[in-house]
Each structure stands twice: as C-alpha cells, then as structure tokens.
Amino acid sequence: DAGVTQSPTHLIKTRGQQVTLRCSPKSGHDTVSWYQQALGQGPQFIFQYYEEEERQRGNFPDRFSGHQFPNYSSELNVNALLLGDSALYLCASSWGQREAFFGQGTRLTVV
Amino acid sequence: GQQVMQIPQYQHVQEGEDFTTYCNSSTTLSNIQWYKQRPGGHPVFLIQLVKSGEVKKQKRLTFQFGEAKKNSSLHITATQTTDVGTYFCAGPGGSQGNLIFGKGTKLSVKP
C-alpha cells in the first residue's frame, strides 16, 4: 500500500515563472490538503480538496491554485513565483478528520 | 485567528535525559495531533488526543491533553539519539479537517 507520493522532489524556478506540483493520496483517502513549510517553521495550510472541489482555504493569495482529479490525486499551481515562495510544499491526505498522512514533500527553490 | 503556540523552540539534551514540549491553543480544540519530523524529512503522525484530560503512552512517549482542551504536552523519558527531530502539535483549523500547526520544538540529543 503506497503512502502519499509527491513529485517532483526538488525544483528550481526563476522569479515570475509558474510551477505545478503533484500529489497522489494514500489509498482509501479522499481528502487532499496542501501545506507550505518555510525553513524552521511549522507547515502552513494552503487549501484542501474534497470531491474535486476546494473545500477550505488558508491565508494564501490567488497565485496559489489547485485541482483534484476523479482519482483523488491533486495538483498545486503557483503563478508569478516570488523569492518568498521558496519552501517545502507538503501534501497530506486523510479520511475525514482522521490523522493526516504527509508525503515527502517538494522542495521548491525560487531564484 | 486561531493560533497554536509551542515552547520551547529548541531543546538540547544529553542522551538519557527527559524532554518535554508544551503546546497551547488560543481556542478550545476538538482534538490535538502530534507529529514528528526528522531532519530533511516530512511530518509523521504520532498520535491524536480527543478527550479532556486524556493521557496516552507510546513506549517512552507520554502525551497529555489538558482539561480545558486548550493545551497539550509531549514528554519523552530517557531520550535516545533516534528521538532527534522537530515535534509539532496541530489542532483542527475548521470543521473540514485542515490543521493549524505550532512552530515546533526542535530536539537535539547529544550521545
């Protein structure tokens, strides 16, 4: 049983570019949440997807958008990248309010 | 908005010493979850506490949920080098299961 998988593991982008990160949830999980973790900080909630719709959103600008597919996998898109977007992006899947299982993350560096 | 605070931010201990991290929420929580993140890794779920005053043990780890359901603690007895990492507490940020994380307590253990 595969856990949460994310791709790519590392990414370097230039300011102003756009990026797409991908996540496949743990088998049996229908809810996918995305978090941004800056160095030395706790994960910060970006948004959550359930039944292919954004169900909840944290305090992030509209440059951050996402999508969930019928197979529950999800994408996180960030437009007009800023240096401050450099962080570890974590995908977490869950079933309801049960514990969240995190993927290994995508380390995004914006130069 | 809702905040989750953790102290201390860092803790350096000699192997064999005990360790405690404390978590406080600005609001009453329906539950609290604890995660461990090893250096370079991703958060891994440790436990969820739901009941007021609940105490749960996992080998050398003892987790406690306060009577008012606004604070929690994690105590590690006789630390080992394998305990190294950052310990996060997290509370639900809404009804849909997104998590509000504390900034974490980074534990280092000197052999």
3-class secondary structure per residue, A53-92: EEEEECCCCCCEEEEECCCCCEEEEECCCCHHHCEEEEEE
Closest partner residue to B94 (CB to CB) among A35, A56, A101 is A56
**pLDDT, mean over chain A:** 94
Question: pLDDT, tens digit, for every residue of B93-111?
Answer: 876 668 999 999 999 999 9
**A96 contacts in B (CB within 8 Å)?**
97
Whether the CB of B43 is below 8 Å from some CB of chain A: the reply is yes
d(CA A20, CA A55): 20
pLDDT tens digits, one per residue of B45-72: 999 999 999 999 999 999 999 999 999 9
Q: Which residue of A has its CA nearest to B47?
A: A99
* Residue B91 in contact with partner chain A when CB distance is under 8 A: no
Which residues of chain B does A98 touch, with a Cβ-Cβ cutoff of 8 Å? 48, 97
Give pLDDT, residue B96.
64
Q: How far apart are CA A60 and CA A105, in angstroms?
A: 18
- The pLDDT, as a whole number, for residue B2 is 81
B44 touches chain A (CB under 8 A): yes
Residue ranges of chain A with pLDDT lower than 70? 1-2, 97
CB A4 within 8 A of CB A34: no
Judged by a CB distance cut-off of 8 A, whether residue B7 touches chain A is: no
User: Which residue of chain A comes nearest to B41, CA vs CA?
Assistant: A104
CA A96 to chain centre: 18
**B37: which strand partners?**
B86
**Predicted local distance difference test score (pLDDT) of residue B94:** 72
pLDDT at A90: 98
In the three-class reduction of DSSP (H, G, I as helix; E, B as strand; rest coil), residue B73 is classed as strand
Quote the minimal CA–CA distance from B8 to chain A in Å: 13
